[in-house]
Amino acid sequence: MKTGDQLLDIAFLYVMLSFLCIGGTIPLIPDMHRFFVESRGLMTTTEFAGYIALAQIAPGPNILYIALFGYHVAGVAGALTALFAISFVPFVLMVIVTRTFTRLQANPWREIVLRGLAPVTVGLMFAGCMLLMRGFPDWRAWLLAAISFAVYLGTQWHPLWMIGFGAVAGIVLGM
């Protein structure tokens, strides 16, 4: 496939996915995995998960993994195409929705819509996490994820502590 075709594929993918950016891009991970790994074979699940992990630990917005996917496929042009395509539609929608929600301040449907979007976002994020765990078939990784989740639910610890403990545990366990 030529680079120009790949850029169009990436742009089309992210423009379509950008309509689903509810609560950020993490819920879109399963669809991105389907595109880059399963249907196109442009990277492995391990590379895919590695790019997400790298973007999560880097300072700045966590949307950086989208640029890394684009870069992996088509270099700098791919990274810029991916970032523009994923950002343009949400920006336009944000402007429109902000103006609309300002006008509908007293309307009860406003709160109903906002409360309804929360479980959708959580469900999509959970699906993305489960997909990423496929890249780590070792049962110890699953156990570590379960322990981290339980600690997160049962304590007030900042998530960065669990990331740090998980990294240390991964090194110690040789994962």
pLDDT tens for each residue of 91-148: 898 899 888 888 888 888 888 888 888 888 788 778 877 777 776 777 887 888 888 8
The pLDDT of residue 69? 94
Confidence of residue 24 (pLDDT cuts 50, 70, 90): confident
The pLDDT of residue 109? 84
The pLDDT of residue 30? 86
Whether 74 and 10 have beta carbons less than 8 Å apart is answered as yes
Q: Name the DSSP letter for residue 175.
A: -
Confidence of residue 166 (pLDDT cuts 50, 70, 90): confident
Q: Which residue has the higher pLDDT, 88 or 127?
A: 88
* Contacts of residue 127, Cβ cutoff 8 Å, sequence gap at least 6: 27, 29, 30
The pTM score is: 0.63
Whether 81 and 18 have beta carbons less than 8 Å apart is answered as no
Q: Quick one: average pLDDT of 12-34?
A: 84
| Average pLDDT of the chain, as a whole number | 85
Long-range contacts of 55-62 (CB under 8 A, 24+ apart): 56/163, 57/163, 62/24, 62/25, 62/26
Burial tier of 51 (Cβ tally within 10 Å: 0-12, 13-18, 19+): buried
